[in-house]
Amino acid sequence: MQQYMLTVHSVEGSPEPSAEARQKVYRDVDAFNAELRSTGAWVFGGGLHPVNTATVVRIHPGGEILMTDGPFAEGKEHVGGFWVIAAPDLDAALAWAAKATRACAAPVEVRPFQDIPPD
Amino acid sequence: MPAVGGSEIERVFREEYGRAVAVLVRAFGDIDLAEEAVQDSFAVAVERWPSTGLPPSPAGWIITTARNRAIDRFRREASREDRHAQAALLLESRNEPVEGGPVRDDVLRLIFTCCHPALAASAQVALTLRLLGGLTTTEIARAFLVPEATMAQRLVRAKGKIRDAKIPYRVPGESELPSRLRAVLSVVYLIFNEGYSASSGDRLVRDDLCAEAIRLGRLLADLMPDEPEVMGLLALMLLTDSRRAARTGADGALVLLADQDRAAWDRGLIAEGQAIVRECLRRNRPGPYQIQAAINAVHSDAGTAAGTDWKQIVVLYDQLLVLAPNPVVALNRAVAVAEVHGPEAAIALLEGLDLEDYYLFHAVRADLLVRLGRGVEAVAAYERAISLTTNATERAFLERGVARAAES
């Protein structure tokens, strides 16, 4: 089985969904998660707090560690959550992504993991 | 056995390259390996066939030789640990048939993999020409007027994505088939149009693209005869291609359909295209390619431009607009309406079409304005059209239009 990361992209400053719409997303994502688990495709997943909670850690040329408040990407689009799934091939992963984007009402990016080298 | 010339080997290469790659991609699970093996195999053929003659089944010979060459390469290069697994894999693939049903499925698998929607359209086109047509990277780059290094990188990236993201090597299931088939047909039609419409660049390479698109169209028609749109696309390409010789004058200038020398149209291609259109009509499962083919068939039927059944063409465009509602179809319909109801009715249809940046929109409008005696507006429309095309032949045509409009 190949593992894929399904990343949910959210746009900062886009209009807040209504409470009702948000409840529907919660319900739909729960149902999607349940389907992932029941078919054995689930590896890991979850939603993230907003980007204002992010901290970037990087190394200076001198070797010391520098921390900055805020997200790494300067644009308005940020990762809002992700799943790691196991699927036989890209078509299967894309089919999951189609369900994911319906459930969370946001674009979903699909990327394959590199093969894990055997021990 | 009779000696075999270079052109005969070239013909076998064109016809069998994709088939051989398709079989070996499935056997090896690796596109690069399959390509190398098939190229090796043809290199051996070029050396041997001129003296030995064509083998009874050239396709089978190419595939068997390619397979054996790849196995030798495996043996030389494989590390001790994975030798066992590879031996098992190769043993399994060694005695497979090289013709008939399984091979047909392999060719379809390869087509659907090359045209997978997870690949960019430009990559789909390049991969299809490379793997199914056997065109070199240099030829593809020249045909699409991009630097060779760019095309090489495009192909490497596409093959890398197929491998790393595990784009499956299979024919899509019933539910996905319609949308996946549309992607395949649009790749083939794009190849055809690139060869047919763009006149900049190497003429020979462009004629090759049309021939390759038609070859792919025939291959699809052979593999999926029950798909009416596959037949429709083939008919559309054949009927369009039938007019190629009449489409440019001796000086290379563009000649409009109405002014073409109809004696120069290729009767054989017309007969074949029209027969397919009749078959599509009988099946009565219309689609955009079939209707476009039918429109071309109506043109082919007319002995003179004046004899064209424009009423029938408007009816067909009405149908096409229902199936493929887009402004370019609406523009083409307006051209047909002008012939039936006059330029006044046609120009009203252009209002509100979102085609401000499309040169043909302004060219059509200019022509209608000339016919309405509105010369000043026509000149402005021609100039807008000229500013939107880079194609030398089309520009020259439009500039003649400006001169005519200025006189009117």
Q: Which residues pair with A10 in a beta bridge?
A: A78
For residue B96, the model assigns a pLDDT of: 56
Q: DSSP letters along B147-190, please?
A: -HHHHHHHHHHHHHHHHHTT---SPPPTTTHHHHHHHHHHHHHH
Interface with chain A: mutation pick from B112, B164, B176, B179, highest number of A CBs within 10 Å: B164
- pLDDT at residue B174 greater than cutoff 60: yes
Q: Which residues pair with A109 in a beta bridge?
A: A7
Q: What mean pLDDT comes out for the span B275-279?
A: 98
Position B105: which residue type?
A: D
For residue A86, the model assigns a pLDDT of: 97
State which residues form the domain around A101.
2-112
Q: Tell me which chain A residues have a C-beta less than 8 angstroms from the C-beta of B167.
A: 89-91
Q: What mean pLDDT comes out for the span B225-248?
A: 95
Where is pLDDT greater, at B205 or B244?
A: B244
pLDDT in tens, B322-357: 999 999 999 999 999 999 999 999 999 999 899 999
For residue B206, the model assigns a pLDDT of: 76
For residue B202, the model assigns a pLDDT of: 61
User: Does residue A19 form part of some domain?
Assistant: yes
User: Does residue A84 form part of some domain?
Assistant: yes
User: Does residue A54 form part of some domain?
Assistant: yes
Percent over 70 (pLDDT), chain B: 91
For residue B289, the model assigns a pLDDT of: 97
Q: Are B211 and B197 in contact (CB under 8 A)?
A: no
Give every CB contact of residue B290 below 8 A, 6+ residues apart in sequence: B228, B229, B231, B232, B235, B277, B280
In angstroms, the separation between the Cα of residue A55 and the nearest Cα of chain B is 30
Strand A55-59 to strand A42-47: parallel, antiparallel, or no bridges (unpaired)?
unpaired
- Residue A19: which CATH number? 3.30.70.1060
User: Does residue A119 form part of some domain?
Assistant: no
Q: Are B293 and B235 in contact (CB under 8 A)?
A: yes
The neighbour count for residue B179, using CB atoms within 10 Å, is 10
Q: Tell me which chain B residues have a C-beta less than 8 angstroms from the C-beta of A95.
A: none
| C-alpha to C-alpha distance for B27 and B81, rounded to whole angstroms | 20
Of these ranges, A64-73, B56-65, B155-164, B245-254, the one predicted with the greatest mean pLDDT is B155-164
For residue B194, the model assigns a pLDDT of: 85
B243: confidence class by pLDDT, cuts 50, 70, 90:
very high
- pLDDT at residue A42 greater than cutoff 50: yes
Give every CB contact of residue B345 below 8 A, 6+ residues apart in sequence: B337, B338
Choose among A90, A111, A114: nearest Cβ to B167.
Answer: A90
| C-alpha to C-alpha distance for B213 and B49, rounded to whole angstroms | 28
As for how many domains chain A has, the answer is 1
Strand A42-47 to strand A2-11: parallel, antiparallel, or no bridges (unpaired)?
unpaired
Q: Are B303 and B291 in contact (CB under 8 A)?
A: no
Q: Tell me which chain B residues have a C-beta less than 8 angstroms from the C-beta of A111.
A: 165
Position A16: which residue type?
A: E
| C-alpha to C-alpha distance for B241 and B192, rounded to whole angstroms | 9
φ/ψ (deg, to 5) at B254: -70, 135
User: Does residue A49 form part of some domain?
Assistant: yes
A25: confidence class by pLDDT, cuts 50, 70, 90:
very high
- pLDDT at residue B81 greater than cutoff 90: no
User: Does residue A95 form part of some domain?
Assistant: yes
pLDDT in tens, A97-110: 999 999 999 999 99
Which domains occur in chain B, in start order? 1-98 (1.10.1740)
The sign one gets for the Cα dihedral B85, B91, B92, B98 is positive
Percent over 90 (pLDDT), chain A: 71
Q: What mean pLDDT comes out for the span B230-248?
A: 95
Give every CB contact of residue B366 below 8 A, 6+ residues apart in sequence: B378, B379, B381, B382, B385, B398, B401, B405
Q: Tell me which chain B residues have a C-beta less than 8 angstroms from the C-beta of A90.
A: 116, 118, 165-168
Task: Give me the residues of B, 123-152, that contact A with CB < 8 A.
Answer: none
- Give the number of A-B residue pairs with CB atoms closer than 8 Å: 24
Q: Are B122 and B105 in contact (CB under 8 A)?
A: no
Residue of A nearest to B180 (CA): A91
- pLDDT at residue B36 greater than cutoff 70: yes
Asked if A56 is an interface residue toward chain B (Cβ–Cβ < 8 A), one would say no
Asked if A89 is an interface residue toward chain B (Cβ–Cβ < 8 A), one would say yes
For residue B83, the model assigns a pLDDT of: 55
Tell how many helices (H) and how many strands (E) occur in chain B: 20, 0
A36: confidence class by pLDDT, cuts 50, 70, 90:
very high
CA B231 from chain centre, in angstroms, equals 13
Q: Tell me which chain A residues have a C-beta less than 8 angstroms from the C-beta of B165.
A: 90, 93, 110-112
For residue B1, the model assigns a pLDDT of: 45
Q: Are A88 and A2 in contact (CB under 8 A)?
A: yes
- pLDDT at residue B22 greater than cutoff 80: yes
User: Does residue A90 form part of some domain?
Assistant: yes
| C-alpha to C-alpha distance for B333 and B182, rounded to whole angstroms | 23
Q: Which single residue is written with the structure tokens 């080298």?
A: A117
Strand segments, DSSP code E, in A12-88 are 42-47, 55-59, 65-69, 77-87
Q: Which has the closest alpha carbon to B18: B171, B151, B135?
A: B135
- pLDDT at residue B205 greater than cutoff 70: no
Tokens of B399: 């500039």
pLDDT in tens, B85-127: 565 555 555 555 555 567 788 999 999 999 999 999 999 999 9
Average pLDDT over chain B, rounded to an integer? 89
For residue B103, the model assigns a pLDDT of: 75
Q: Tell me which chain A residues have a C-beta less than 8 angstroms from the C-beta of B168.
A: 88-91
For residue B393, the model assigns a pLDDT of: 78
User: Does residue A118 form part of some domain?
Assistant: no
| C-alpha to C-alpha distance for B193 and B240, rounded to whole angstroms | 10
Distances in whole angstroms, Cα of residue B254 to Cα of each of A20, B199, B200, B338, B385: 60, 10, 13, 21, 15
| C-alpha to C-alpha distance for A85 and A6, rounded to whole angstroms | 8
- B164 and A91 in contact by Cβ < 8 A? no
- A2 and B118 in contact by Cβ < 8 A? no
Asked if B330 is an interface residue toward chain A (Cβ–Cβ < 8 A), one would say no
In angstroms, the separation between the Cα of residue B166 and the nearest Cα of chain A is 5
For residue B404, the model assigns a pLDDT of: 84
For residue B88, the model assigns a pLDDT of: 52
Q: What mean pLDDT comes out for the span B254-280?
A: 95
